[in-house]
Amino acid sequence: MKKFIHEIHRRSLWQVLGIYAVGAWVALQVVDVLGQNFGLPEWFPAFALALLVLGLPIVLATAFVQEGVRGPEPFAQAAPDGAAPDDAPPRVASSGTLLTWKNAILGGVGAFALWGVVAAGWMLLGPGARPGAGEPGSVAANPEATRDLRSVAVLPFATRTAAEEDEYFAEGMHDDLLTQLAKIDSLKVISRTSVMEYKGVNRNIREIADELEVATVVEGGVQRSGERVRVNVQLIDASTDQHLWAETYDEELTAANVFAIQSDLAKKIASALRATLTPEVAERIEERPTESLAAYDLYVRGRFIFDNRGSTRDGVEAAADLYREATVVDSMYALAHAGLAAAQLQLFNLGYLSEEEALPPARESLEKALALNPDLAEGRLLRAQLLRLELRPIEAGREIERVLELNPGSAQAHAQYSQALLDLGRPDESIVEARRAVQLDPLSVGLRRALVARLAWVSDLDGTIEESRKLLELEPTEADAHYYAGMAHTLKGQSEDAFESFRRAIELNPDDPYYPAGLAWAYARAGDREQSLEYLGRAEAAGVPLKEIGLVYGALGDLDQAFEYLERGYEQEPGTLAGIRADPSADPLRADPRWDALMERMSRE
């Protein structure tokens, strides 16, 4: 044994082993980086490790043989001068001709050449390399494009009980996971509105993946029990129903543990899908928005109500009360301040509060949120909305660009950027962003409605009518689909179709003042002044914005009346003029010098 150990030292095997270990570690790091950036499957690093393990005994054997031929054995008996020792073996044995450093190096190069060939074949012929994978609209043309594994739908988490507190907590965990995953640029993550359609629905995973145009699906459950929380999650390849990854967490119920579970889930899902996770994104994912479980509980309850009852005044006010309580429990909770600002702004958007009543408190809450966290994506998106209402489209666009850097997978951010680009006179880019938003949230009625509106405002009239039809397939009672179809038919000169579309919108929602204003505008374009003024009176009585009245008078040719209403709208309701530059309804006014003067005043504000 002593002789063997001595031989190991003499032949430098420890040094060779150390050098090999360092080289193998470097090689594995390179393999890992290549795997993350090129979407290679999870077994490729293991394949490289197997090659390295197989190479280790070859390298050690080579070192043993080659180091052994450099000099005589120290324990060999010396031969008399001028004579060779009895039965002396040749200086280099047959094993020495095979186990040479040249052959070892060539073997190593060959092994990694094999790995490279397999990797290149995967990238060229594997699922992630199919033409059009991940591009908007490509799935419909080629269903196999969904085999890009870096597209995922996170289904609503199941709960063991129907208790509301379990439901809102599970939805809160689900929403937070979606937000975390949306920060990863190389992932396509379906947004909340679309995946919530499958809550409590027993559907085949492959069918769901096909409908949402993704390759993978996450499903799981959340259980609160006393002072503990249990979360189990599985990542499934929809085409094979194979579990790519699964994890169960059973932790003490604390804010720190809740956020740790969320961040760990996001990172492990990204790793399983071979998505690139930069250090900056990893750091943002690991942020803890509050240390208070009570504040978090109030916040997720408020968000639950806002998400489910956010179109009613009672629902928005109830959510605002919970957000406000959360800020009392933890005054440093930036998300709670942003939630309160969102609720206050929503009361204005729904028409329940005036600008003077809603916007000052919304700005105050938002300023607190962004003072606590300047890069809070939810806060910056709200700031963009306020800037647009203040007729500051350039600044609004910059805010949303920063939001998309922070949350590139946010469907709402893409939708708002679409509006900002339209305000800035960049219609083609606006449509691209609107379609991207729909791709990320394909079952969202609101985002499809926004796409229809963008198409109408850029005067893609056939596209407007086609997307209106698709919107009605998604939601048959969607009045805005008829409204924008009526707008397109009017601009195409198809008056009867336009009248029918606007009347259908009024039937579906008789309280909306925009619909009779739209019908008044259509009659004005058709030359029917009497009918136009009748419906305009209805719209004005229902409280339609002054700008809309001015646009109808413009279509009637009453330019003095038109500019009188626009000037009043600018003074009293400036936010309603935010998108007027791109509004095709304003075309009759553009040749008048008063138009340029109004646009100049709006630009200076």
- 57-80 CB burial, b ≥16 within 10 A, e <16: eebbebbbbbbbeeeeeeeeeeee
Q: How many residues make up the chain in this entry?
A: 605
The pLDDT, as a whole number, for residue 89 is 42
Check: CB of residue 316 under 8 Å from CB of residue 351.
Answer: no
Asked if residue 472 has pLDDT above 50, the reply is: yes
The pLDDT, as a whole number, for residue 197 is 93
The pLDDT, as a whole number, for residue 54 is 72
Asked if residue 139 has pLDDT above 50, the reply is: no
Tell me the pLDDT band of 148, cut-offs 50, 70 and 90. Answer: low
Candidate from 61-65, 224-228, 345-349, 600-604 with smallest mean pLDDT:
61-65
pLDDT digits (tens, 9 = 90+) for 297-312: 999 999 999 988 888 8
Tell me the pLDDT band of 158, cut-offs 50, 70 and 90. Answer: very high
Q: How far does Cα 383 stand from its chain's mean position?
A: 19
Tell me the pLDDT band of 44, cut-offs 50, 70 and 90. Answer: low
Average pLDDT over residues 39-47: 60
Angle at which helices 13-38 and 2-10 cross, to 10°: 60
Name the token pair of 89: 């073996």
The pLDDT, as a whole number, for residue 203 is 87
pLDDT digits (tens, 9 = 90+) for 370-392: 999 999 999 999 999 999 988 89
Name the token pair of 542: 């229902």
Task: Find residue 158's DSSP bridge partners.
Answer: 221
The pLDDT, as a whole number, for residue 144 is 42
Q: How many CA atoms lie within 13 A of 489 on its CB side?
A: 23
User: Strand order in 228-237's β-sheet?
Assistant: 188-189, 151-154, 216-225, 228-237, 242-252
The pLDDT, as a whole number, for residue 127 is 44
Domains of the chain: 2-69+99-126 (no CATH), 149-285 (3.40.50.10610), 289-374 (1.25.40.10)
On the 0-12 / 13-18 / 19+ scale of CB atoms within 10 A, 378 is buried
Please state whether beta strands 188-189 and 216-225 pair in parallel, antiparallel, or not at all (unpaired): unpaired
Asked if residue 59 has pLDDT above 90, the reply is: no
Alpha-carbon distance 317 to 306, whole Å? Answer: 9
Name the token pair of 413: 């951010």
Tell me the pLDDT band of 32, cut-offs 50, 70 and 90. Answer: low
Alpha-carbon distance 256 to 430, whole Å? Answer: 40
Mean pLDDT across the chain = 84
Which helix H or strand E contains 13, and what residues bound it? helix 13-38
Tell me the pLDDT band of 119, cut-offs 50, 70 and 90. Answer: low
Q: What residues have CB less than 8 Å from 513, skipping those under 6 apart?
A: 539, 540, 542, 543, 544, 548
Tell me the pLDDT band of 20, cut-offs 50, 70 and 90. Answer: low
The pLDDT, as a whole number, for residue 136 is 35
Average pLDDT over residues 400-420: 96
Name the token pair of 547: 């700008």
pTM of the model: 0.72
Q: How many CA atoms lie within 13 A of 252 on its CB side?
A: 2
Residue 266 is which amino acid? Answer: A
Tell me the pLDDT band of 68, cut-offs 50, 70 and 90. Answer: low
Please state whether beta strands 228-237 and 216-225 pair in parallel, antiparallel, or not at all (unpaired): antiparallel
Asked if residue 154 has pLDDT above 60, the reply is: yes
Tell me the pLDDT band of 121, cut-offs 50, 70 and 90. Answer: low
Tell me the pLDDT band of 38, cut-offs 50, 70 and 90. Answer: low
The pLDDT, as a whole number, for residue 70 is 47
SS3 category, 242: strand
